[in-house]
C-alpha cells in the first residue's frame, strides 16, 4: 500500500471507517465522509432522540454535547469527531432515573410536543456550565464580573433552541430550578 493511502478509506465505495464514542460507548461505523454527525447518530446508530428540525443550523433540535460543549450536529461531519466524547439525550438518564434537568422539564411543564426537548435539555446543561465558567454572552453587561444566572442571560444563551410550542417561560423555570439547586 502506498504511504499516502488511508487504510480506513474504501476507494470502491467511497466510505470511511471511523469509531465514534457516544455516551461512553465505542461505535464503529463505515460512512460516506459527507454524512453529518446528526445523520450518523440517527440513521446509522439509531439514536433518534437527537432530532432533525431544519438540518441547517437554525433550530437547535439537533443539539448534542461534544467534549462537554454544545454543537448543532446537523452542521458537523461525523468523520470530524473521532476521538471526541459525544453525549446525546439517550446517555443522560433513564425512565427510572431521570437526570435532574429531565425531571425539571417535567416538573415545570417545559414542553408540549417534545420535539425540541432533547436539544433544549442538552443546551440547558451546557448553558449552566458556560455561566459557571464565566463565559460572557451578548447580554452580559459587566465583562469583568461573573455572568449572572438571570432569566435574561438564560434566554439569550438558549436563543439558538427554538420551540414551536412556545414553552419558553417553563423552559427558563426548569433551567433556573436546576441552576439554583446546583449552586
**62 backbone dihedrals φ, ψ, rounded to 5°:** -95, 15
Which residues touch 110 (CB under 8 Å, ≥6 apart)?
A: 104, 117, 120, 167, 170, 171, 173, 174
Stretch of 41-49, 90-98, 110-118, 174-182 lying at the interface with ligand FES (CB under 6 A): 110-118
Name the DSSP letter for residue 10. E
What 3-state DSSP class applies to 38?
helix
Distance between CA atoms of residues 20 and 26, nearest Å: 6
- The only residue of 49, 114, 136, 148 in contact with ligand FES, by rule CB under 6 A: 114
163 lies in the binding site for ligand FES (CB under 6 A): yes
Give the interface segment with ligand FES, choosing from 19-27, 57-65, 76-84, 91-99 (CB under 6 A). 57-65
60 binds ligand FES (CB under 6 A): yes
Select 72 or 140, whichever has its Cβ closest to ligand FES. Answer: 72
Beta partners for residue 29, in sequence order: 18
Task: Reduce the secondary structure of 75-141 to three states and give it as a string.
Answer: HCEHHHHCCCEEECHHHCCECCECCHHHHHHHHCCCCCCCCCHHHHHHHHHHHHHHHHCCCCCCCCC
Instruction: Tell me which of 30, 34, 69, 164 binds ligand FES, using CB under 6 A.
Output: 164
With contact defined as beta carbons under 8 Å apart, do 149 and 179 qualify?
A: yes
Compose the 34-53 pattern: x for residues touching ligand FES by CB under 6 A, - for all others: ------------------xx
- Kindly tell me which of 57 and 134 has the beta carbon lying closer to ligand FES: 57
Return the number of the residue (147 or 163) whose C-beta is nearest ligand FES: 163
29 binds ligand FES (CB under 6 A): no
If the CB atoms of residues 14 and 57 are measured against ligand FES, the closer one turns out to be 57
Sites of contact with ligand FES (CB under 6 A): 52-55, 57-62, 72, 74, 111-117, 163-165, 167
Amino acid at each position: 500500500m502506498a504511504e499516502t493511502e488511508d487504510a480506513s478509506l474504501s476507494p470502491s465505495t467511497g466510505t470511511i471507517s471511523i469509531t465514534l464514542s457516544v455516551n461512553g460507548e465505542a461505535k464503529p461505523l463505515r460512512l460516506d465522509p459527507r454524512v453529518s454527525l446528526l445523520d450518523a447518530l440517527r440513521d446509522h446508530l439509531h439514536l433518534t432522540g437527537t432530532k432533525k428540525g431544519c438540518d441547517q443550523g437554525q433550530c437547535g433540535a439537533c443539539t448534542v454535547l461534544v467534549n462537554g460543549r454544545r454543537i448543532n450536529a446537523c452542521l458537523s461531519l461525523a468523520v470530524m469527531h473521532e476521538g471526541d466524547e459525544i453525549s446525546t439525550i439517550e446517555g443522560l438518564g433513564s425512565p427510572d432515573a431521570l437526570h435532574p434537568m429531565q425531571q425539571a422539564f417535567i416538573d415545570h411543564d417545559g414542553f408540549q410536543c417534545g420535539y425540541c426537548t432533547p436539544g433544549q435539555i442538552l443546551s440547558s446543561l451546557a448553558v449552566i456550565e458556560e455561566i459557571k465558567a464565566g463565559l460572557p454572552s451578548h447580554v452580559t453587561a459587566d465583562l469583568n464580573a461573573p455572568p449572572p444566572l438571570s432569566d435574561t442571560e438564560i434566554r439569550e444563551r438558549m436563543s439558538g433552541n427554538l420551540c414551536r410550542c412556545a414553552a419558553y417561560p417553563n423552559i427558563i423555570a426548569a433551567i433556573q430550578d436546576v441552576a439554583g439547586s446546583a449552586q
